[in-house]
Amino acid sequence: MRAYTAGDTDVPLLEETIGANFERVAARFPLHDALIEAAPVPGGDARRWSYTKMNDDVDRLARALLALGVAKGERVGIWSPNCAEWTLLQYATAKTGAILVNVNPAYRSHELEFVVKQNGMRMLVTAPSDTNSDYVAMARQALLTCPDLRELVFLPDHGLEALKSGSPQSDAELTYAELLTRADGVGHPVLKARMAELHPHDPINLQYTSGTTGFPKGATLTHHNILNNGFAIGELLGYTEHDRVVIPVPFYHCFGMVIGNLNALSHGAATIIPGRGFSPAAALEAVQDFAGTSLYGVPTMFIAELALPDFGSYDLSTLRTGVMAGSLCPIEVMNRVISEMNMVDVAICYGMTETSPVSTMTRKGDTLQQRTETVGRTMPQLESRIVDPATGEELERGQIGELCTRGYAVMAGYWNQPEKTAEAIDADGWMHTGDLAWMDDDGYVVVEGRIKDMVIRGGENIYPREIEEFLYTHPAIQDVQVIGVPDPKYGEELMACIILKPGAAPLDAAAVAEYCRGQLAHYKIPRYLEVRESFPMTVSGKIRKVQMREEAVARLGL
């Protein structure tokens, strides 16, 4: 049987812009909660927006952008950790037709200036400076060095001592409050006229992939791409206006702004921001305080939440579902999320920024095995297939090859990089993911890892996920990543990098090898072991295995 599936086509795609969709939903649920930001300080008040209030505030921000002369298709950057203003700007740019550029909050000056120049960014909305990043100073440097950048807008610090917002020092700089006053010069009819000019297939979002080599590439996404993908995810999760979605994952990434915001807000549900960055305690407090029905995270986030010493004290009884995505999901972690966090309908979502992002997903009625060992089936209105990475020939089910996806969710291309676009999307419209996977007889996809993460030891192809899943069963191991390191005899050898459970006895390579013996083939047993406190991660929660390999090579003198 061919390793090919097509998703359901029963539900038609939405043929509207993000702004038009939001106005339609807001008219249906005007007084329902749309956006809640947890109090930044203990004992403080949360910030809340009903659908009516959010629509009004989005319109005011959109009219302010028009007052500054922001044109359809111009690039407006947002460089900030999660906050309510991030969401408001996401929808305001959608209503004006400006292309929102998501800038990674972890970027430093060199990376920021590259992104600003690469897309000709016109405006940058920047976070207050904090102990980790002097956003204000780096943004001012970009203003001096990037000729297309005309305005800086400084987001408020909301009185937090740890944050320091910028004060304008030139005509090109505005505070967020000053920007909003510009709206007084533009009436609603002007905004409505702009919205009428927009088309669902217009580019509306630019996201820079966190690539491990070379400079990042800007995936260009349309209203049609991300609105439909978000809406489809919500349909499969069974979202209604009664859901309350806790989003501790970053908005700058598709996980936060599509699987999170666009998904929930296209269904009349509430979005809840636990804090600027991820805190396991803050995430669970948000579920408890705001009766969250759905919780998001990458596996490392759920591992951290489950590891809290007072985990059992949180009231998680309102939870029913959620999304685990971003990297491969360990079976043991999924089992605990279902049994101990009440997330009986939790879904695995798989995809990439270039596919808006979700291309396969588990379903509510799936068996526990399907929801722990696969990344689900092809999404509605999309196609999936597995091909030989060398020849491009479609494989049979059960054979491991490269996973490819096709359909409405595939990006418009990499911004101003047609050659890179052609390398990723073939002549038939298939997006090549770079992931190794196979498809079972029922059309469920099992991802074995990145093509570049596959370890070849003495001619044997080894998929790290298999070894990681086994090592998760060790009673002392809380988290594990397996990488390949150079070896003069076999080409590569395996290293297991582990994080021990609190209070666990020390482990060494010999003890781990003994645990594996008789359970794994000899060539799959890690030769090296490294005990770590944490793993290097991207802001979106993906483990940086390339960095781990580099560190291991240096440490071992290989």
pLDDT tens digit sequence for 56-75 = 999 999 999 999 999 999 99
Taking CB atoms within 8 Å and a gap of at least 24, the contacts of 136-142 are 136/164, 136/165, 136/166, 138/108, 138/109, 138/112, 139/79, 139/112, 139/166, 140/166, 140/169, 140/173, 141/109, 141/113, 142/109, 142/112, 142/113, 142/116
Contacts of 27 (CB under 8 A, 6+ apart): none
Domain assignment present for 348: no
| β-strand partners of 323 | 296, 347
* pLDDT 10s digits, 429-469: 999 999 999 999 999 999 988 888 889 898 888 889 889 98
* Count of other CB atoms within 10 angstroms of residue 373: 16
* pLDDT 10s digits, 80-128: 999 999 999 999 999 999 999 999 898 889 889 999 999 999 999 999 9
- Write down the pTM of the prediction: 0.88
Banded model confidence at residue 210, pLDDT cuts 50, 70, 90? low
Number of folded domains that form the chain: 2
- Provide the token pair at 23: 């106005």
Q: Which of 172, 199, 226 is the last residue of a domain?
A: 199
Residue ranges of the alpha helices (H) in 68-146?
84-96, 109-119, 135-145
Can you give the pLDDT at residue 328?
A: 67
- Cα 462 to Cα 483: distance, rounded to the nearest angstrom: 10
- Cα 227 to Cα 218: distance, rounded to the nearest angstrom: 19
Tell me how long the chain is.
558
Can you give the pLDDT at residue 43?
A: 80
Can you give the pLDDT at residue 538?
A: 72
Banded model confidence at residue 488, pLDDT cuts 50, 70, 90? confident
Dihedral sign, Cα of residue 160, residue 163, residue 169, residue 172: negative
Average the pLDDT over 40-49 and give the result: 89
Domain assignment present for 411: no
Contacts of 177 (CB under 8 A, 6+ apart): 156
Q: Which of 132-141, 289-298, 448-457, 523-532 has the lowest mean pLDDT?
A: 448-457
Residue 493: give its domain's CATH number: 3.30.300.30
Domain assignment present for 103: yes
Dihedral sign, Cα of residue 496, residue 501, residue 502, residue 504: negative
Domain assignment present for 87: yes
Q: Tell me which residue has tokens 């794994």.
A: 520
- Cα 65 to Cα 122: distance, rounded to the nearest angstrom: 11
Can you give the pLDDT at residue 213?
A: 44
Q: Which of 199, 222, 252 is the last residue of a domain?
A: 199
Asked if 496 and 528 count as a contact pair (C-beta separation under 8 A), the reply is yes
CB-based burial, 171-207: b 16+ in 10 Å, e otherwise: eebbbbeebbebbeebeeeebeebbeebebebbbbbb
Single-letter amino acid, residue 549: R
CA dihedral 135, 139, 145, 146 (to 10 degrees): 130
Banded model confidence at residue 41, pLDDT cuts 50, 70, 90? confident
Domain assignment present for 53: yes
Burial class (CB in 10 A: 0-12, 13-18, 19+), 500: middle
Asked if 518 and 498 count as a contact pair (C-beta separation under 8 A), the reply is no
Q: Which of 138, 170, 199 is the last residue of a domain?
A: 199
Closest C-alpha to 227, from 123, 346, 358, 352: 358
Asked if 549 and 485 count as a contact pair (C-beta separation under 8 A), the reply is yes
Asked if 118 and 144 count as a contact pair (C-beta separation under 8 A), the reply is no
Can you give the pLDDT at residue 214?
A: 57
Can you give the pLDDT at residue 80?
A: 97
More confident residue, 387 or 44: 387
Single-letter amino acid, residue 29: F
Domain range for 464 is 460-556
Domain assignment present for 74: yes
Can you give the pLDDT at residue 212?
A: 41
Strands 151-154 and 123-126: parallel
Strand order in the sheet with 321-324: 47-50, 33-37, 270-273, 244-246, 294-297, 321-324, 347-351, 358-361, 377-378
Average pLDDT, the chain: 94
Banded model confidence at residue 539, pLDDT cuts 50, 70, 90? low
Single-letter amino acid, residue 364: K
Banded model confidence at residue 298, pLDDT cuts 50, 70, 90? confident
- Cα 528 to Cα 245: distance, rounded to the nearest angstrom: 41
- Cα 534 to Cα 266: distance, rounded to the nearest angstrom: 36
* Count of other CB atoms within 10 angstroms of residue 388: 13
**Does the N-terminal peptide bond of residue 357 adopt cis geometry, omega within 30 degrees of 0?**
yes
* CA 25 to centroid of chain Cα atoms: 24
